[in-house]
Amino acid sequence: MTTSLKKIIGLIGLAVSLNAAEIYATFNVEAEQKAKLAFDAGGITQSVNYDVSNNVKKGNVLASLQNADMKASLNIAKTALKYAKKD
What's the confidence (pLDDT) of residue 72? Answer: 87
The model's confidence at residue 14, banded by pLDDT at 50, 70 and 90, is: low
Give the C-alpha separation, 66 to 37, whole Å.
17
Give me the domain span that covers residue 6.
Answer: 1-34
Q: What does pTM read for this prediction?
A: 0.41
Residues 49 and 82 in one domain: yes
Residues 81 and 40 in one domain: yes
Find the farthest-apart pair of alpha carbons in the chain and give their distance in angstroms, rounded.
88
Residues 18 and 48 in one domain: no
Residues 16 and 58 in one domain: no
Give the C-alpha separation, 19 to 14, whole Å.
9
What's the confidence (pLDDT) of residue 68? Answer: 83
What's the confidence (pLDDT) of residue 40? Answer: 77
What digits encode the pLDDT tens for the residues 16-71? 666 656 667 787 877 777 777 777 777 788 898 988 888 888 888 888 888 888 88
E strand or H helix at 70? helix 68-86
